[in-house]
Amino acid sequence: MNQNLLNELYRIVGEDNVKLQEPMAMHTTFRIGGPAQYFVMPMDTEELSQVVLLCKAEKVPFFVLGHGSNILVSDKGMSGVVIRLYTNYAGYSVKGNMVSAKAGIMLNKLGASLLEEGLTGFEFAAGIPGTLGGAIVMNAGAYGGEMKDIVKSVSLMDENGNIFKKSCEEMEFAYRHSIVQDKGYIVLGADLMLKEGNKEEIKAKMDELALARKTKQPLEFPSAGSTFKRPEGYFAGKLIMDAGLAGYTVGGAQVSEKHCGFVINKGGATAQDVVTLMDDVKRIVQDKFSVELEPEVKVIGD
């Protein structure tokens, strides 16, 4: 253990906001993952900046975590510092049609608030099980909408603790991609431009999308959402189903029979189970249809 690093983390965020050997299975929607060496929860931008600079000075790797909904953490866990920006970093404000929100706010909570404000345009995102920060990083989308459709600007931090803004255009949003992935920036928050709408219509749209998710997706099991990106001209779930892989199982991991685009944790699945299953699915789909599936789930850890 790096005692100097630990002492400094305690000083910056307080002992209550630092955990040692914290099981990542408790902080991912897959409910899978070994321990994080240092698990840190900064309460504001100043604390976050100090933690980032400390990691750089101590030459310790760090990873920024939100709700943990699009990742698979190794069974061995993660060395270095996991910085969690979640409910500890989650405020928002509304001015006219402009919404400014911090990275840690859950999309469903923000969606419910925007419904009350009578603002439309966010409905597609309100049911995505993640934080605003995570949604920005991967330009999350669903049911015909993407974050790039509503983002005006994004507040970012680099590895030197510098804080700056980038416009929607400068974010280089593409399918499940943003400049954040290329540059290693940390998303602090975003300004969203929405429109005035009718509360009843907004609620009806949100209810409609929530029902579609419930009926089509295996929400009753832990998963990381869509496992593979949509290949050009195809749907990953349909390719996997047509390959005869519905219900295909490795250990506690299974291709969902409800929606083959999802790999679920049926109970006690390890990260290795999931990785093996994903590799099998990729190989079989490639052999049958000559289509290469690219993971949407990010595999991280030791």
**Pairing relationship of beta strands 249-250 and 223-226 according to DSSP bridges:** unpaired
**Among 69, 178, 226, 256, which one carries the catalytic annotation?**
226
- Please say if 196 is a catalytic residue: no
| Look-up of token digits 């919404």 | 99
Backbone angles phi, psi at 17, to 5 degrees: -105, 15
H/E/C letters for each residue in 84-137?
Answer: ECCHHHCCEEEECCEEEEECCCEHHHHHHHHHHHCEECCHHHCCCCCEHHHHHH
**Among 58, 117, 159, 296, which one carries the catalytic annotation?**
296
**Among 176, 178, 223, 256, which one carries the catalytic annotation?**
176
**Residue 59 backbone zone (phi > 0: left; psi -120 to 50: alpha; other: beta):** left
What 3-state class would DSSP assign to 289? helix
Calculated CA dihedral for residues 138, 143, 146, 152, nearest 10 degrees:
-140
Q: Kindly give the interhelix angle for 199-216 and 107-117, rounded to the nearest 10 degrees.
A: 150
d(C-alpha 219, C-alpha 244), whole Å? 22
What 3-state class would DSSP assign to 188? strand
114: tokens are 């925007």
Position 259, amino acid: H
- Please say if 49 is a catalytic residue: no
- Please say if 74 is a catalytic residue: no
Residues tagged active-site: 176, 226, 296
